[in-house]
Structure 1
Amino acid sequence: MKSKFDVKVLSVQEIHELPDGWSGDDYKSIMELADFDDWDKIEESELKDYTIMTLQELDPEEAAAIVLGYKFQGLLTKGQIHNLVFEMMEENLWEEYQNISYHKELFNCAVMMKWAFPKKFPQTDAVKCVLEVNAYNQIGTNMLHNADKSLIARLIANGMNDHSVINRLFDDQVLNGPFPEAEHIVWQFDSEIQPEKTKFTIFSSWYWLRQMDDISNYTAETFSDQTNLR
């Protein structure tokens, strides 16, 4: 069952890294892979800086191979990683790589390499989009209170025209479901539930959300893949 929603676009902001894109455990693992001694004795507040300094002791290509190898262990071969090392110096792989399930982590890898070698790697750019959503009925309210990425991606798609990338590539998933690709279109989101509305803070790439920069408000009629909420 579809429900109707009023959607207000509160802000669309360019960002250059994701909240919690890298954790303390990630930093420690990178340093260990780069053969940095005593990585386990570093204060939590200094882990990022030490990781960057550790990578800077290496050639950019070697450092990138370590970072990519860590994030994509078991997913990419050494040959694929070797190719990506050189591609990521020139291209926005977080938008261009054909496997969209890798986009978020390719972005995080690009962020790390930009920190370590700012003159060698392109500027990273992603999107933080904040929506305020009101439901027309209780079913819609339940969807908002239990929102998943399929609902968020459909709410976004409903605001954009047929020429947007989401609607061109996934029109059937948006209209009829299921929509497993939403997991990789919406990189992450936070929700703030209020009595009469819900605010979503959504992180993704310009590749998916570019049209949202020109939209202020709209009405969406859509649903979630969670069948008990439809």
Structure 2
Amino acid sequence: MPDFVDKFGTALAYFSLKIRETANIKHSGAKGSERELDVAAFIDDLLPMNYTAKKGEIVDLLGQKSPQMDVIIFDALKNFSFYSGESVVLPAEACLASVEIKSKINSTEIKTSQEASRKLKSLKPWKRQLGSSSQQLQESSGPRSARYLHSLFAYDTDIADANWAKSELTRIENHANGPADQSIDFLYVLNRGLIDTRSRSFIPEDEKTGQALVSFWFSLYNFIDRENRRRERAPYFSYANDLKRFWTKID
């Protein structure tokens, strides 16, 4: 455990340095791209070697696809992407968690993020509806529903410090258009804290310890590790078999 604590502290310090560097970038597009890479690298560097964090999109056996996600986490020893470059295309059965990254959130950005999250969670791994990310895991003789954890990571918010968490959660719920669990599960805002929309609770950030960022990472890791243990490998044969409809007989 001490080795990991030291590694996490080093990663946290480096991440803080990168944050200060990107604050000096004036072009919003360049700043956004740089910050996406920084968050993805922060998550990826701390994950065990079998997991990887990549930008990309997700597709299912019914032909549905997700919006582009800034970070998708999957077990690269168990599954592989259909396409791998700067972005990946991943089968729905392989995705464990995702993170969307924003420089600054406001009502418009929250609404856009909620819509993207709902589209993501409308995917059907193994042609089955997703389970709730907050459901208690129970042994069942029937088919298991996969679960996704979706988080929003923001560098800033337009909500003032006073009662920030309550105001932010209210805004998220107003744009949820249904249970909060079906959209954003966690919201982390730099220097503010971490909100769990499912339990309607939050942990404030501490500049010295980074307690909210640490809690965010551990919540993310604990979820993907539990979820990955109950997942079978993605049914690549079924995806390949679906291509049979494009074959025609040569007379």
Tell me whether the two structures share a fold, i.e. TM-score over 0.5: no
Shorter-normalised TM-score: what interval? under 0.3
* Greater relative contact order structure (CA < 8 Å, 6+ sep): 1
Point out the structure with the larger helix share: 1
Bigger Rg over Cα: 1
Question: TM-score by structure 2 length?
Answer: 0.25
| Superposition TM-score, scaled by structure 1 size | 0.27
